[in-house]
Amino acid sequence: MMREQEQKTYARLGECLREAGFTGISLSLTENRSRLTAVRKQQRERQQDSLDRMYVLSGSLEGRRGRVSFTAMPEEERIPELVELMKATAALMPKNGSPEEASAMSEDSREGQERRAAEEAPAGSFLWEDHEAVLPRLLAAEKRACAYPETALVENLSYEQKEERIFLYDGRGILQLTDATGYHCLRMTVIAKREGDTELANACRYGRNLEETAPEELADQTAREAIAGLSGRSLPSGSYPVILKNAVVAELLEAYLPAFYGSRLSDGTSCLSGREGEAVAAGSLSIRELPELPEGRVSRRIDDEGTPVSEKYLVRNGLLEQPLFNRKSAGEQGKKSTGNGFKPDLQSDIDTGVTNIRLEAGTEAGDLPELLRELGEGLLVTTVDGVFAGTNVKDGSFSLIAGGRIVKEGKTGGAFRQVAIAGNFFEMLKNTRAAGRDYAATTPDCACVLAPSLLAGELVISGT
């Protein structure tokens, strides 16, 4: 929240902008607080607390939206300089006649002022855990993973706590809306070695606190996964029926989210262009955005433009339903924002983004062993590399380096690795035979996507 002196400076800045002809003036303040605790070789490796603040000032001048960002509220003597900078940025923007853009966060909006009191404080509060309370659990988790003789090293064993708070002010400095989100995340990498062979496994788990992430249990699972991948071999080239493990599905879906962006659908750079209402997945599958998903990472009520976010289907029962718009992309097509105007990071301008995305099935087959039994013979793909380099949003294709387990008689056997898998993501979704209920989420450096394992038909494998 702005301090008293900052509010006075901003009130004066708003006056100067109005005198210069600006309307629809607003200021957003984003505060990111984070705490990271990490261990390595039974020693504390890192202990870090940080606070980053970003201010984004915007306003319309003759139908063009100007925007300036800064990390600290400028001194009053810099106000004329900021006004000129706002004029310069507005001059570079195309004229936008969207009523929504023109009225967004207007200082004359009485409705926003009336609801401010009710929405000033988001429900709930973020629970911070001290470094000294976290450290013993991380050391115990590392020790558990190292109990296996094949474990060579546990890397990146860290617990991150992060809270983001957003404050939106109108042009007179009146607080209009606040929002907040946050997460707790445990991450680790286990490296296993045997007779000169090396394999690694990555893990990521979210919870409302450290206890919910179950550090020792996750360390044990990750170590066993790394060991199971030792002695992996290549495969004969051909088409194989496959199960894609939950984390792989989540990673792939995250890479193809731009296919749903209204800007890409309109300019033809999405493989889903012109397909609204058509089948793009199996009839049992849906893809939803869920801003208040309890197991999600991003709980937001408004986007970074002040537009309310809402639950929506991107795909419902296999049919493409809802493109995603921010204010700019919506205005270009004469539509309304869907509440998907987000900054990729504090330093970036508004782009299209999401809160929590979940791929779900109307009928779930059960856990992974049930999917394996239904598969019978084929491959379980547990890891993929080069997702963003090997995926094409324009045509839906992918070609990735993969590893996993060979499946025989419904059970996992030997490992395979360094084979190329290829296909079309949305054709793969259309050919999906079953989905599990074993949801996994993407890592914090990605958009928040949750997905189950999929029995996904056949994919082309290029091996030996």
Q: What CATH number did the domain enclosing 86 receive?
A: 3.30.2290.10
Please state, in angstroms and rounded to a whole number, the distance separating the CA atoms of residues 193 and 149: 9
Dig out the tokens for 316 from the structure: 């419902």
Percentage of the chain with pLDDT > 70?
93
| Together in a domain, 330 and 183 | no
Q: Is residue 174 part of a domain?
A: no
How many C-beta atoms surround the C-beta of residue 155 within 10 A? 18
Total domains present in the chain: 3
Tell me the sheet residues that pair with 46: 38
Instruction: State yes or no: pLDDT of 136 exceeds 80.
Output: yes
Q: Is residue 211 part of a domain?
A: yes
Q: Is residue 138 part of a domain?
A: yes
| Together in a domain, 388 and 280 | yes
| Together in a domain, 199 and 321 | no
Of 97, 119, 141, the one marking the end of a domain is: 119
Look at residue 118 in the predicted model and tell me its pLDDT: 39
246 pLDDT tier (thresholds 50, 70, 90): very high
Q: Is residue 52 part of a domain?
A: yes
Q: What domain range is 312 assigned to? A: 238-462
Of 170, 205, 228, the one marking the end of a domain is: 228
pLDDT tens profile 212-231: 999 999 999 999 999 999 99
Q: Is residue 12 part of a domain?
A: yes
Angstrom distances, CA of residue 94 to CA of 22, 31, 62, 102, 286: 16, 30, 10, 13, 36
**What is the amino acid identity at position 109?**
S
Region 434-451: what's the mean pLDDT? 94
Dig out the tokens for 420 from the structure: 């190329």
| Together in a domain, 87 and 19 | yes
Q: Is residue 172 part of a domain?
A: no
Region 392-411: what's the mean pLDDT? 96
| Together in a domain, 153 and 260 | no
Instruction: State yes or no: pLDDT of 102 exceeds 90.
Output: no
Look at residue 364 in the predicted model and tell me its pLDDT: 65
346 pLDDT tier (thresholds 50, 70, 90): confident
Look at residue 125 in the predicted model and tell me its pLDDT: 73
Q: Taking the complete model, does pTM exceed 0.75, yes or no?
A: yes
Look at residue 157 in the predicted model and tell me its pLDDT: 97
Look at residue 261 in the predicted model and tell me its pLDDT: 97
| Together in a domain, 224 and 263 | no
347 pLDDT tier (thresholds 50, 70, 90): confident
| Together in a domain, 103 and 20 | yes
Region 92-117: what's the mean pLDDT? 48
| Together in a domain, 214 and 245 | no
| Together in a domain, 270 and 406 | yes
Please state, in angstroms and rounded to a whole number, the distance separating the CA atoms of residues 69 and 72: 9
Please state, in angstroms and rounded to a whole number, the distance separating the CA atoms of residues 300 and 442: 18
| Together in a domain, 441 and 366 | yes
Instruction: State yes or no: pLDDT of 417 exceeds 60.
Output: yes
Look at residue 463 in the predicted model and tell me its pLDDT: 82
| Together in a domain, 224 and 249 | no
Please state, in angstroms and rounded to a whole number, the distance separating the CA atoms of residues 288 and 317: 11
Q: Is residue 347 part of a domain?
A: yes
Of the CA atoms within 13 Å of residue 451, those in its CB half-sphere come to 27
Region 84-106: what's the mean pLDDT? 68
Look at residue 218 in the predicted model and tell me its pLDDT: 97
Comparison of pLDDT for 112 and 383, the residue scoring more: 383
| Together in a domain, 319 and 421 | yes
Q: Is residue 168 part of a domain?
A: no
